[in-house]
């Protein structure tokens, strides 16, 4: 980029290299080999039992966004396939389908229709 700079009444033509700024990321899901999916959380991790419904170990599916539970399509003991829609969240008049990241058996569902959840709260815990 070529700039014109004036210093003490004297004009200078200056060539400046400008680096492109990286686009900001909105965050991402972390999928592990244990069959869990979660959003990375900033700050210290919440103690066990602090997230919605309590409990929830390594196999917990966590809310990717804050919202209200609009629909719950699973119950404890149910077998699910990868890609099955487990829960539908509503946030800002938009519906977000939460799908099973892997096949497995549901251990607990600590949320119900109408529950308010924050990003990172446990939605479904798998065995």
Whole domain around residue 84: which residue ranges?
Answer: 52-127
Q: What is the CATH number for 62?
A: 2.40.50.100
Residue 32 lies in a domain: no
- Provide the domain count of the chain: 1
DSSP E strands in 1-127: the ranges are 2-7, 10-15, 30-31, 37-38, 60-62, 67-72, 79-80, 85-91, 94-99, 104-108, 116-117, 122-126
What is the C-alpha radius of gyration for the chain, rounded to an integer number of angstroms?
23
pLDDT digits (tens, 9 = 90+) for 5-57: 899 999 999 888 877 766 655 444 444 444 444 444 443 344 333 434 445 56
Residue 47 lies in a domain: no
Tokens of 86: 């487990």
Residue 127 lies in a domain: yes
Give the whole-angstrom CA distance, residue 35 versus residue 86.
15
Give the whole-angstrom CA distance, residue 31 versus residue 29.
6
pTM summary value = 0.56
Residue 44 lies in a domain: no
């Amino acid at each position: 980029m070529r700039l014109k700079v004036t210093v003490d009444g004297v004009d200078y033509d200056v060539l400046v290299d400008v680096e492109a700024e990286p686009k900001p990321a909105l965050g991402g899901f972390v999928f592990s080999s244990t069959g869990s999916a979660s959003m990375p959380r900033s700050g210290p991790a919440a103690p066990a039992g602090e997230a919605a419904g309590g409990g929830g170990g390594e196999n917990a599916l966590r809310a990717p966004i804050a919202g209200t539970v609009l629909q719950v399509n699973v119950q404890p003991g149910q077998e699910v396939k990868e890609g099955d829609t487990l829960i539908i969240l509503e946030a800002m008049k938009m519906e977000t389908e939460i799908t099973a990241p892997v096949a497995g058996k549901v251990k607990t569902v600590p949320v119900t229709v109408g529950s308010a959840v924050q990003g990172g709260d446990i939605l479904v815990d798998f065995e």
